[in-house]
Each structure stands twice: as C-alpha cells, then as structure tokens.
C-alpha cells in the first residue's frame, strides 16, 4: 500500500485526478487476493496491479470513466461469464475516484505513509455501501482503537447506517450497539474484527458499508554485513517490499549513501547487537558478516531473541561448525534446525547478484508462509 499512497500523494500534489481500484473480495480462483490495489490516472496505470490480464484491462477502462467524478463504484464480476477468463472464480471490485488537489485525500495518503514508516497498526476504511453501485467516495484511516487518524468516516451515504444491526460499524466484531458520538467504538470493532499483527499479514473485511484494509506492515529484514552480497541482497529485498536495515561493525561498510534502499543503516558491535538494535518476532535476520567468528556471535545472539526467520551464509563446513558451536552454547537443537543455512534457495547462484536473488526468493517464500 505504500507505493499506492506515495503515487496518490504525488498525483494529488500535481492536481491530477486518480481512481483507486481495490479487490474487495472474491471466490474461487482469481489473479490476486482481496485488498490488492492499483491506481489509475488519465495517463494510464499509475502504479500497483490487481493481477493483469483481462480483469485489469476491464478495471482500467471502468476506472478511467470515473476520473474526476469523486464517485465510488462497486462491481461484481464472474471471471468466466463476464470476462472470458479461464480462472473460474469471481471477483468484486471497488472503484474510488479522487479529485486532484483534494486535501483530505492528500492527508490520508500522508498518514498511511507515516503509519507504515513507524510500523503503527492502522486500518484504511473505504466507503462501499451494500446494494449501491454508484455512491459518493469516502475513506478514513483509523488506529486499532477506532480513532480517526485522517479522512472522514462521517462521509458515508445516509443509508450506510452505522447503528447496530444495520450492516455498519457497530454490527461488526462483538456486535455491541454502544457506539460513541464520533463512531470510534464501531470503528474499533472493524479493526479488531480483522487481524492486525506485526508479521505483515493483512486481511480485508467487507461489511455492508465499508471495506476495511489493515495496513500491511512491511516485514523488516535485518542484514548483518554490508559487503558485496549484503549490498545486492538489500537492494533485492527492498524491491519486493521488505523494510531493510543494514548492520555492520565497520564504519566504511555502514555508509547510508551506499544503501539508498535501506530504511536504517547501523554501525555497531557484532558481539553486542542489542546495544544498537532490538529484534521482534516479525523480523527476518540475514547473517553475512566478514568472518566466521562474527557470524557465529551474531547467530547465537539472534537465536536468543524473538524473530521470524534466520538465515546464515556459508559453506557446508562452516554450517557444520555453526551447528556445533550453537549446541555448545546451549541453543536448543530445534532452534538450530530452524535456521536457513546455507541461506537461499539452491539455484546454483555464484555472483553476489545471483546469491541475492536466491536469498530474496527464500525470504519471499518464508513471508508468504506467514501469511497463510
């Protein structure tokens, strides 16, 4: 969603009209999952994708027809009967037209970017009233307690009632009919009805009035070692949505200008990483420091902290030595066995760029497993 928000912010600053296309739901086989988005402007596809092919071509044409209208539109499609696709499933699309220069949407885009940068859980609410194909577009960003961070939840159509049992906010979650004056309790029900957690997992929820899209927090990948492979790996990981942090003990290998895709570049002690960085259960850790001893030192520290993935670069002999040293240090066998070593998929990679591709592919695979 970050790319979408950045692209929208740039378009609105330039005064360009855009249409946000969101997959609201679907059944059976479909090109992409609910929550996938693309942004369309008068020049064409601005960014994002909902799967390409006939579905995206159809959505592109429909979106361009809405440019400048300020309207929202909901559409249900049978991919076989309506588009002649072989997938065999069905897809629901939500079109949200945004006029160039709209200050509320500009603030909304900025708030999304800020939440992603700060890894603050939040949910994007897009107006999508049940039974209406064309309506006034509205959206808001709310935190996990339902507090409105940007946008306007009150802009929903009149018949998109937010009282209990009316298919609005209060009917979500625990079904409570206690909605405060600004709707925060009901909005919190929307947020709590959809899992929000730090591993980057996001799931959309369609209600009778709103489509709730929890911001998909980018998974942080911490790369220990800024050598040739580390640089190539950082660039590859950033291109597929990881938030990358580079950690090296050598000042000359921890220069921010050498890692333009990094969210953070740290120079610290490989023997005491906790002095410079705190890890959590969603982090991907990639160890490729300049020496075996520093690799092993980092690995032992990481295995004593929460994490989602750990990979260690090295030869078979080095991996065997790492296993023996971790056992001697009292690391449980199961934790050692969970380490991806040697790191990366076995594709016969040799150059730093090839190795980076193999590592990135394995990280994509591990991230996808977390989302299932």
Q: List the domain boundaries for the chain.
A: 2-98, 105-214, 220-371
The predicted-structure confidence for 323-370, as pLDDT tens digits, reads as follows 999 999 999 999 999 999 999 999 999 999 999 999 999 999 999 998
Superfamily of domain 220-371: NAD(P)-binding Rossmann-like Domain (3.40.50.720)
The predicted-structure confidence for 236-250, as pLDDT tens digits, reads as follows 999 999 999 999 999
Q: What is the pTM of this model?
A: 0.77
SS3 64: helix
The predicted-structure confidence for 106-124, as pLDDT tens digits, reads as follows 999 999 999 998 889 999 9
Name which residue leads in pLDDT, 45 or 7: 7
User: Within its chain, how far is the Cα of 9 from the centroid?
Assistant: 18
How far, in Å, are 25, 136, 187, 210 from residue 93 at the CA level?
Answer: 7, 16, 22, 13
pLDDT tier at 316, thresholds 50, 70, 90: very high
Amino acid 216: pLDDT: 86
Cβ–Cβ contacts within 10 Å for residue 137, how many?
A: 24
How far, in Å, are 147, 165, 182, 187, 264 from residue 175 at the CA level?
Answer: 19, 8, 18, 12, 42
43: preceding bond cis by omega (within 30 degrees): no
Between CA 20 and CA 22 the distance in angstroms is 6
Between CA 198 and CA 217 the distance in angstroms is 6
Amino acid 117: pLDDT: 87
Q: Which residues contact 143 (CB under 8 A, 6 or more apart)?
A: 120, 121, 122, 123, 149, 191
Amino acid 204: pLDDT: 62
Report the DSSP pairing between strands 18-27 and 37-41. Answer: antiparallel
In the block, residue with structure tokens 């980076």: 356
Cβ–Cβ contacts within 10 Å for residue 223, how many?
A: 27
Between CA 339 and CA 285 the distance in angstroms is 10
Do 92 and 75 form a contact (C-beta atoms < 8 A)? yes
């Amino acid at each position: 969603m970050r790319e979408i928000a950045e692209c929208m912010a740039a378009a609105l600053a330039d005064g360009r009209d855009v249409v946000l296309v969101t997959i609201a739901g679907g059944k059976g086989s479909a090109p992409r999952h609910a929550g996938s988005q693309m942004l369309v402007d008068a020049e064409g596809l601005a960014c994002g994708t909902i799967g390409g092919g006939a579905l995206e071509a159809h959505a592109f044409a429909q979106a361009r027809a809405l440019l400048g209208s300020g309207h929202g539109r909901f559409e249900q499609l049978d991919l076989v009967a309506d588009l002649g696709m072989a997938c065999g499933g069905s897809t629901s699309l939500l079109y949200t037209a945004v006029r160039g220069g709209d200050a509320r949407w500009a603030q909304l885009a900025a708030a999304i970017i800020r939440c992603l940068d700060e890894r603050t859980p939040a949910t994007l609410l897009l107006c999508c009233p049940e039974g209406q194909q064309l309506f006034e577009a509205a959206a808001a960003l709310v935190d996990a307690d339902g507090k409105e961070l940007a946008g306007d939840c009150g802009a929903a159509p009149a018949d998109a009632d937010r009282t209990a049992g009316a298919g609005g906010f209060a009917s979500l979650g625990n079904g409570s009919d206690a909605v405060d004056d600004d709707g925060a309790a009901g909005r919190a029900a929307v947020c709590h009805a959809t899992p929000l957690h730090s591993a980057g997992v996001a799931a959309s929820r369609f209600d009778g009035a709103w489509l709730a899209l929890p911001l998909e927090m980018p998974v942080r990948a911490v790369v220990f070692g800024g050598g040739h492979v580390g640089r190539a790996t950082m660039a590859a990981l950033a291109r597929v949505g990881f938030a990358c942090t580079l950690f090296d003990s050598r000042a000359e290998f921890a220069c921010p200008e050498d890692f333009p895709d990094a969210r953070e570049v740290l120079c610290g002690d490989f023997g005491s990483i906790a002095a410079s960085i705190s890890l959590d259960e969603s982090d991907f850790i990639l160890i490729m420091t300049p020496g075996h001893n520093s690799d092993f030192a980092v690995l032992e520290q990481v295995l004593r902290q929460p994490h989602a993935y750990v990979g260690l670069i090295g030869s078979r002999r080095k991996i065997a030595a790492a296993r023996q040293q971790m056992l001697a240090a009292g690391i449980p066998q199961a934790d050692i066995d969970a380490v991806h070593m040697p790191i990366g998929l076995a594709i016969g990679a040799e150059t730093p760029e090839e190795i980076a591709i193999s590592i990135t592919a394995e990280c994509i695979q591990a991230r996808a497993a977390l989302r299932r």
